[in-house]
Amino acid sequence: MPLSADSPLYPAITDIVNAAADPDPFDEVKAVLSFYTNRFHSLGRLVHEEEDDELLLHASPNLTIYHITLSPGVQYPPHNHLMDALIGIYRGSETNFIYPATGDEIDTPERQDFVAPAVTHMSPDTIHSVANTGNGRSGALHVYLGDLPGTSRQLWSLADSHAEPFDNDRYMAGARPIQPE
Ligand SMILES: [Fe+2]
């Protein structure tokens, strides 16, 4: 489903693209993302919604932007990005499971809960799994300082601890209900 012509996402995309062209892209993008996270939060609704949880808004050699609306009760498989990631959660909550790794093997994760409005950073070597432990669909902008769709990276099945090449179809198919702890 295309964005509506007056979607509030358009100015956000433009401003984040401009911020990423700054000599200090990390701090600029983080500042702009924080601004839009708060602005969208104040609207009190999702700024866009469709069936899929992920919508790719922009991908270029130095920047990738997704609008993410996680369905409640679903956890996606662990993966890395191999580039800085900035996540701006503007509605609901997102839970991040951060996995320690030895070589390609991942271990028991550390859980981090974020309630909107919140901005968090993941360094390039972070391995994480996202879930929505809230009651309604969450809303967030996920911003990466590189070409995420064009980067060879890794995915881990929730069922075992071994890495395989990241594949978006396998990633989406690997989503499962959050397991009770
Ligand atoms: Fe991720």
Burial of 123 (0-12, 13-18, 19+ CB in 10 A): exposed
Distance (Å, whole) CA 139 – CA 101: 29
Range 155-172 average pLDDT: 89
Amino acid at 8: P
pLDDT at 181 over 80: no
Contacts of 100 (CB under 8 A, 6+ apart): 106, 107, 108, 109, 110
For ligand 1, the distance from its centroid to the CA atom of residue 10, given in whole angstroms, is: 22
Per-residue pLDDT tens digits for 54-90:
999 999 999 999 999 999 999 999 999 999 999 999 9
Among residues 41, 43, 47, 138, the alpha carbon closest in space to that of 93 is found at 138
Spatial contact of 142 and 85, defined as CB atoms under 8 Å apart = yes
- DSSP code per residue over 14-35: HHHHHHHTSSSHHHHHHHHHHH
How high is the pLDDT of residue 180?
56
For ligand 1, the distance from its centroid to the CA atom of residue 2, given in whole angstroms, is: 23
The structural domains of the chain, with segments of one domain joined by +, span: 9-177
For ligand 1, the distance from its centroid to the CA atom of residue 77, given in whole angstroms, is: 9
For ligand 1, the distance from its centroid to the CA atom of residue 59, given in whole angstroms, is: 15
Q: Regarding the domain delimited by 9-177, which CATH topology (the fold level of the hierarchy) does it fall under?
A: Jelly Rolls (2.60.120)
Range 91-106 average pLDDT: 93
For ligand 1, the distance from its centroid to the CA atom of residue 160, given in whole angstroms, is: 18
